[in-house]
Copies of this chain bind each other. A is one copy, B any other.
């Protein structure tokens, strides 16, 4: 189950020749997450684990991972960048955000993916990444029926 983290570390080493402590901690944390985290959240959780990691190193690690396509940057519309691991296998989800309680939940939908591929092709684009965010009231926060 740690395959993403392992392969990410290997790829980082192939590029730079190193893989220091901060990067490894960030990669391992992201490998354990099911959904996106902000840089601040990553920093806090790594600190909670007892490590002395600077926020700048978190950003630098995320930047390197993003360049290699190992993480996907997710913008939920609140001005904060979040990151989650990008599975090379194509497993891949998007996000529902509740405007009331702030809850974020992932979803996948083949019809949505198909529509995106079709749009991209029709416009002559070679789409490398795509991001879908739905905002609204979740079942719990919606005015009771």
Binding site for B on A (CB under 8 A): 73, 75-77, 79, 81, 96, 98-99, 105, 107, 109, 111-112, 114-116, 118-120, 123-139, 142
Contacts and interface: CB of A to CB of B under 8 A. Distances in A.
A25 to B, nearest CB: 24
A17 to B, nearest CB: 26
16 contacts: A79-B79, A98-B125, A105-B123, A107-B119, A109-B118, A111-B114, A111-B118, A120-B134, A125-B134, A125-B137, A125-B139, A126-B136, A127-B135, A128-B136, A130-B135, A132-B132
Nearest to A124: B139
A6 B36 CA distance: 40
Given A73-B77, A79-B81, A131-B77, A115 B126 contact: no
Contacts of A75: 75-77, 79, 133
Contacts of A120: 96, 134, 136
A119 to B, nearest CB: 5
A70 to B, nearest CB: 16
A136 B129 contact: yes
A118 B107 CA distance: 12
A82 to B, nearest CB: 11
B137 A123 contact: no
Given A131-B132, A133-B131, A124 B112 contact: no
A134 B112 contact: no
